[in-house]
Amino acid sequence: MLGAALGVVLAAASVRPASAHALLLGSDPAAGAVLSEPPAGVELRFSEAVTAAGPGITVLAPSGRVVHRGGVRVAGRNLSARVQSVEHGTYLVRWAVIAQDTHPSRGQLTFSVGQPGPVPAGASFGSDVGAVSPAGLLLQALGRWLHFVGLALGFGTLAFQVLVRPVADRRLDRLVLGGVAVLALAQPVALVGQAVSLDLPPQDVLASSFGQALGLGLGGALVLWSAAGAVREAGRGRTAVLAFGVPVVLADGLAGHRILGVPDLATFSLGAVHEAAMAVWAGGLIAFLVVREGGRRFGLVALACVATLAASGALLALAHLRSPSDVTSSAYGAVLGVKVIAAAATALVAWLGVRRVEAAALAGVLALAALLVSLPPPR
Amino acid sequence: MVVRLARGRVHYAWIVFGVTFFTLLAAAGIRSTPGVLIVPLEHEFGWTRAEISLAVGINLLMFGLCGPFAAALMARFGVRRVLLIALLLIAVGVGLTTAMRQPWQLDLLWGFVVGTGTGSMAGVLAATVANRWFVARRGLVIGILTAAGATGQLVFLPVLATLAVNQGWRWASLVVALAALAAVPVVALLMRDDPARIGLKPYGAAEDFKSPSAVGNPFAAALSGLGRGVRSIDFWLLSTSFFICGATTNGLVGTHLIPASVDHGIPEVTAAGMLALIGVFDVVGTTVSGWLTDRVDSRWLIFWYYGLRGLSLLLLPFALSSTYLVLLLFIVFYGLDWVATVPPTIALTTNIFGRERAAIIFGWVFAAHQFGAAFAAFMAGALRTWLGDYQVTFLTAGLLCLIASGLVIRIGRASRGESPARPLAPEAA
């Protein structure tokens, strides 16, 4: 089953080119252009292949009338719609897409025919953060936070049982099932987050790469549930189930940021190592707080995790920041900066051995990580 | 002629077996036809996929509902008469579709008429013939007849698809109707209800064999079996997992893989070939599964079957937009456990409910299978019409399989101790 699961991830990885969040590179008519005649259509060019979310492109004439006709056409990185209008004045074009890496983005631009006039009334995207609505961004982050917590509770507890305390314990079995529940809950929250981000009904975002990632996420939770039953039945096999965590964290790469110029599999692996170390540390910590045994051995495991997190985190930061100044000039950089400080503080608390504070601090770091993955990186 | 054959060197039971084999093969082929009809019907009439899928759903539902009662009808009126009526129903139902104009006519003909006809000669036919005509080799006979039923659904698809694409869907339907009609004289001439009618004993029966007298009202037995089942947690676990099994094989992949492939630019005949290939791998998978069922705890077998099926369904949306090689991988995986779940599910039913009650309980578990198939056939079409593609459907089906995997491994916990979870030979079907 492990091989089959890896096959799913590899097959999924093989069909998508590398990139992160879809950025609007240009359009025809260009933003702010003044034309003499109304155009026959609108074409948008993105930084990577996209799927249209909902209508994809909406064109409003100066009178406020919807003037795009027929369905939106998707051709790789290009999105286009036909326009039928004779009005003069300023037109408003709004777009909403989902990138290959499942991240949603939306935006708007104007062009004019004849004389520029007042912009037709439409929802303003002025308050958008990272090209989505702020509420949507927070819900996306909440979904990812739940996903991280679920991974930690599910697979982290298993790792604790395999690495630290290899005896059957009903309390720990229940923790794993709790992890399954949180992992499963994370997916509908992510769906709502995606929908709110673009202000669309949920079914409009399902027929996309996001829908596939959603399915794989729920699949990971259900496999863990069914495997937990099998372990209980057989009385062994925890290591095999723990190994199944590898394709699960690799699959998260599908919804993570790609790194330009680096093969997807390498990016996925780096992300997977970072995520797995987090799960083993955080999940192991909770398991330790429950059973209060194996503290010395857990300390060593946690130390290895912290070292892995620092090394893989540094590589990821180098890959996604263009220059150190991004820390102050972009939302992504700012959150990353805060997260690094918080993670260092957590490691310090861990070194001091105040486990409860350590757990609370880790939950905070996970929240920052969840927000970070939801924001567009500078690179 | 029958009298002469009955005195021949080959026991007449094998002739009855042969007739049953080809009838089941034909019935299965007929049931598979909607898969190749969906796209042509959309093109000609402009019906939505939801409307067409409703008829397929009704068909699968009738097929399942008829099962428990067809056995009763065969006990009352004889196998030969029930078969003849069923074949005529199918021939008339399919033949009339060539003249239809409205979606409700498709629901009536494909759904109710053909569904009842095919349902009357499905799995119960195999069990009835095997029980009446065979004492020795009963398991083998049931195995081959079951495989005929499952594989027949897939292997004719390339021919039907070629006909539908080159000559039009009406020709494909007419050929199917004629095939059913051609079986009528064969059944009329060669089929016999019972060995005693032609002065024989069942194959492999001892000299002092007495044919068992009918016990009780079969309708009442079917219903009391259901009453007993619903009070057991294990019955619900088995039924739910088999519901998912039906949903993900006959209902979803059997009905919708061809239109989904066409959506992704794969030609209809190629897609039908893929389903046929699933059928070929199904023979291998089911045979191996039957062999394994005698050796390994059935729960573990089904646990793995559903787990692997779930993962391959999660792969399908990626596979459809990827290379043929990845798609081939899906087909091998999927084919191998298409009905591989049947032998261990029968064995598990026998273990939990005992040999006497197993047949009737399994009849109801199988009805759940067809409920699942009907539900999925319709829902997949409705979701395709609503959302514009099959991605959500395939992913949901994969997730359901993973749930089934988790359910079956929890079977038997409630009754642990009173009934051992040791496998028995699946001959009680």
Interface check A55 vs B, CB under 8 A: no
- Residue A207: DSSP 8-state: S
Residues 6 or more apart from B273 whose CB is under 8 A from it?
B157, B158, B161
For residue A15, what is the nearest residue in chain B, using CA coordinates? B322
Residue A186's CB is within 10 A of a number of other CB atoms, namely 26
HSE-up (13 A, CA, CB side) for residue A283: 36
Q: Which fold has domain A131-374?
A: Formate dehydrogenase/DMSO reductase fold (1.20.1630)
Angle CA A102–A107–A108, to nearest 5: 155
Q: Give the confidence band of B325 by pLDDT, cuts at 50, 70, 90.
A: confident
Averaged over B27-39, what is the pLDDT?
83
Q: Give B-chain residues touching A219 at CB under 8 angstroms.
A: 310-311, 314, 395, 398-399, 402
Please indicate whether, in this complex, the C-beta atoms of B303 and A230 are within 8 angstroms of each other.
yes
Cβ–Cβ under 8 Å, residues A15 and A256 = no
SS3 at position B271: helix
Distance CA B37, CA B46 (A): 13
Distance CA A39, CA B39 (A): 37
Cβ–Cβ under 8 Å, residues B164 and B36 = yes
Q: pLDDT value at position B352? A: 84
CA distance A357 to chain B (A): 36
SS3 at position B311: helix
Please indicate whether, in this complex, the C-beta atoms of A4 and B386 are within 8 angstroms of each other.
no
CA distance A4 to chain B (A): 7
Interface check B421 vs A, CB under 8 A: no
For residue A54, what is the nearest residue in chain B, using CA coordinates? B387
Q: Give A-chain residues touching B399 at CB under 8 angstroms.
A: 215, 218-219, 222
Please indicate whether, in this complex, the C-beta atoms of B392 and A223 are within 8 angstroms of each other.
no
Exposed/middle/buried for residue B85 (C-beta within 10 Å: 0-12, 13-18, 19+): middle
Instruction: Identify residue A205 by its one-letter amino acid code.
Output: V
CATH of domain A24-113: 2.60.40.1220
Q: Name the phi and psi angles at A82, rounded to 5.
A: -80, 150
Q: Give B-chain residues touching A224 at CB under 8 angstroms.
A: none
Cβ–Cβ under 8 Å, residues A260 and A379 = yes
HSE-up (13 A, CA, CB side) for residue A139: 20
Token match 């389903």: residue?
B275
Distance CA B114, CA B116 (A): 5
Q: pLDDT value at position B211? A: 57
pLDDT at B94 over 80: yes
Angle CA A308–A311–A317, to nearest 5: 130
Most B CBs within 10 Å: which of A16, A72, A222, A248, as the mutation test of the B interface? A222
Q: Give A-chain residues touching B311 at CB under 8 angstroms.
A: 1, 4-5, 7-8, 219, 223
CA distance B297 to chain A (A): 11
Please indicate whether, in this complex, the C-beta atoms of A12 and B311 are within 8 angstroms of each other.
no
CATH of domain B219-414: 1.20.1250.20
CA distance A270 to chain B (A): 23
Please indicate whether, in this complex, the C-beta atoms of B322 and A14 are within 8 angstroms of each other.
yes
Q: Which of residues 184-203 of A touch B (CB under 8 A)?
A: 203
Which stretches of B33-78 are DSSP H helices? 34-45, 49-77
Question: For residues B418 and B18, which has the higher predicted lDDT (pLDDT)?
Answer: B18
Q: pLDDT value at position B429? A: 33
Round to the nearest angstrom and report the end-to-end CA distance of chain A. Answer: 36
Q: pLDDT value at position B203? A: 77
SS3 at position B121: coil
Please indicate whether, in this complex, the C-beta atoms of B303 and A226 are within 8 angstroms of each other.
yes
Interface check A348 vs B, CB under 8 A: no
Q: pLDDT value at position A117? A: 85
Distance CA B424, CA B296 (A): 10
Please indicate whether, in this complex, the C-beta atoms of B402 and A223 are within 8 angstroms of each other.
yes
Please indicate whether, in this complex, the C-beta atoms of A207 and B391 are within 8 angstroms of each other.
yes
Domain boundaries, chain A: 24-113, 131-374
Cβ–Cβ under 8 Å, residues A146 and A185 = yes
pLDDT at B149 over 80: no
B168: left (phi over 0), alpha (psi -120 to 50) or beta: left
Query: Positive or negative, the Cα torsion across A24, A27, A33, A39?
Result: negative
Q: Give the confidence band of B227 by pLDDT, cuts at 50, 70, 90.
A: confident
Residues 6 or more apart from B291 whose CB is under 8 A from it?
none
Distance CA A106, CA A101 (A): 15
Angle CA A346–A342–A296, to nearest 5: 10
Q: Which fold has domain B1-198?
A: Growth Hormone; Chain: A; (1.20.1250)
Look up the ipTM and state it.
0.83
Q: Name the phi and psi angles at B115, rounded to 5.
A: -60, -45
**Which residue in the set A4, A11, A230 is minimally distant from B318, CB to CB?**
A11
Q: Give A-chain residues touching B312 at CB under 8 angstroms.
A: 4
Cβ–Cβ under 8 Å, residues B11 and B134 = no
| Whole-Å CA distances, A101 to A97, A198, B133, B259 | 11, 16, 61, 28
- Residue A30: DSSP 8-state: P
Tokens of A148: 């991280």
Q: Give the confidence band of B216 by pLDDT, cuts at 50, 70, 90.
A: low
Cβ–Cβ under 8 Å, residues B99 and B45 = no
Q: pLDDT value at position A361? A: 94
Q: pLDDT value at position A277? A: 95
Q: Name the phi and psi angles at B357, rounded to 5.
A: -90, -15
Q: pLDDT value at position B422? A: 41
**Which residue in the set B308, B388, B399 is minimally distant from A222, CB to CB?**
B399
HSE-up (13 A, CA, CB side) for residue B218: 18
Q: What is the mean pLDDT of chain B?
A: 81
Cβ–Cβ under 8 Å, residues A134 and A197 = no
Interface check A10 vs B, CB under 8 A: no
Residue B226's CB is within 10 A of a number of other CB atoms, namely 16
Tokens of B93: 């139902």
Q: Give the confidence band of B425 by pLDDT, cuts at 50, 70, 90.
A: very low
Closest CA to A18 of A205, A271, A201: A271
**Which residue in the set A1, A214, A216 is minimally distant from B308, CB to CB?**
A1
Tokens of B6: 């009955």
Cβ–Cβ under 8 Å, residues A8 and B311 = yes
Residues 6 or more apart from B275 whose CB is under 8 A from it?
B32, B35, B154, B157, B253, B254, B257, B258
pLDDT at B428 over 50: no
Most B CBs within 10 Å: which of A2, A8, A264, as the mutation test of the B interface? A8
Instruction: Identify residue A225 by its one-letter amino acid code.
Output: W
Omega before residue A29 within 30° of 0, cis: yes
Closest CA to B402 of B329, B313, B336, B338: B313
Give the DSSP H or E segment for A44.
strand A41-46
SS3 at position A38: coil
Question: For residues B294 and A355, which has the higher predicted lDDT (pLDDT)?
Answer: A355
**Which residue in the set B303, B322, B410 is minimally distant from A15, CB to CB?**
B322
User: A83 has which bridge partners?
Assistant: A68
Q: How many beta-carbon contacts under 8 Å exist across A and B?
A: 94
Q: Give A-chain residues touching B396 at CB under 8 angstroms.
A: 215
Residues 6 or more apart from B202 whose CB is under 8 A from it?
B13, B132, B133, B134, B135, B195, B209, B211
pLDDT digit string (tens) for chain A, length 379 residues: 556 556 555 555 444 443 457 888 899 899 889 999 999 999 999 988 888 888 889 999 988 888 888 888 888 889 999 999 888 999 999 999 998 888 888 888 999 998 888 888 766 677 777 778 889 999 999 999 999 999 999 999 999 999 998 888 889 999 999 999 999 999 999 999 999 998 888 888 888 888 888 988 999 999 999 998 898 888 888 888 888 888 888 888 888 888 777 788 888 899 999 999 999 999 999 999 999 988 889 999 999 999 999 999 999 988 888 888 888 888 889 999 999 999 999 999 988 888 889 999 999 999 999 999 998 888 7
In which residue ranges of chain B is CATH 1.20.1250.20 found?
1-198, 219-414
For residue A247, what is the nearest residue in chain B, using CA coordinates? B311
**Which residue in the set B395, B399, B403 is minimally distant from A211, CB to CB?**
B395
Most A CBs within 10 Å: which of B263, B315, B333, as the mutation test of the A interface? B315
Query: Positive or negative, the Cα torsion across A106, A107, A113, A118?
Result: positive
pLDDT at B113 over 70: yes
For residue B399, what is the nearest residue in chain A, using CA coordinates? A219
- Residue B409: DSSP 8-state: T
For residue B333, what is the nearest residue in chain A, using CA coordinates? A4
CA distance B399 to chain A (A): 6
SS3 at position A305: helix
Q: Give me the DSSP letters along B157-191.
A: HHHHHHHHHHT-HHHHHHHHHHHHHHHHHHHHHH-
Please indicate whether, in this complex, the C-beta atoms of B307 and A1 are within 8 angstroms of each other.
yes
